[in-house]
Amino acid sequence: MDTFSSMLILFFLVMNPLGNLPVFIAELDRQPPERYRFIVLRECLIALAILLLFVFCGGEILKALRITQASLELAGGIILFMIAIKLVFGSASGSGEKKSAPESEPFIVPLAIPLFAGPAAMSTAILVGGRGGFMHTLEAAGALAAAWAICTAILLSGRYAGKFLGAKALSALESLMGLLLTTMAVEMIIAGIKYAFLSK
């Protein structure tokens, strides 16, 4: 799972743009189209800055906490597996039920954190960024940036995509993303077991 494409897919799945799309639409329901795009882009940029920080500082965090590669792979795999189960059996329409929008526009919370840069994305950034040397970290940052660009494009077109796809299609796509994330989580768990028992 150290290839650029694998990291890109992993970041895309844990950012979960399709699952977050209904929530973004509901939170910004009262905003005009121009303001909607500005707020989404601002929140996504804040989330990117936070995730890049975790990617570049992930190795130092692991060293400071004395976390081994095996423990990191196993813990990350278990966390991703639990999140994937929620995606598979969760409902995009249920998580995005319309609620009364707040009087003032949201800032950082809840759109940037914890929706876009949530615990899964942060832990994945630490996991991927702390796996290798500087060149690997740069590759991980590139994969994160590419996945972020795709997710941001989806969220920017949120109102149009929500109307075009509908709640059922969004829910189905979210479940599909959960299924893909499940397989990647299982692969991480297997890798953790190999590190723990075969690298001695």
DSSP assigned state of 3: S
Predicted local confidence at residue 22, as pLDDT: 77
Q: Structural domain of residue 147, as residue ranges? A: 4-97+106-198
Position 148 pLDDT exceeds 60: yes
Kindly report whether the peptide bond that precedes residue 110 is cis, defined as omega within 30 degrees of 0.
yes
Q: In the numeric block, which tokens belong to residue 55?
A: 């990617």
Predicted local confidence at residue 188, as pLDDT: 80
| Sign of the torsion angle spanned by Cα atoms 140, 145, 146, 151 | positive
Predicted local confidence at residue 199, as pLDDT: 62
Predicted local confidence at residue 192, as pLDDT: 83
How confident is the model over 83-97, as a mean pLDDT?
Answer: 62
Distance CA 9, CA 17 (A): 12
pTM of the model as a whole? 0.73
Indicate the pLDDT class of residue 49, thresholds 50, 70 and 90. Answer: very high
What is the number of structural domains in the chain?
Answer: 1
Closest among 57, 50, 59 to 130, alpha carbons compared? 59
Indicate the pLDDT class of residue 138, thresholds 50, 70 and 90. Answer: very high
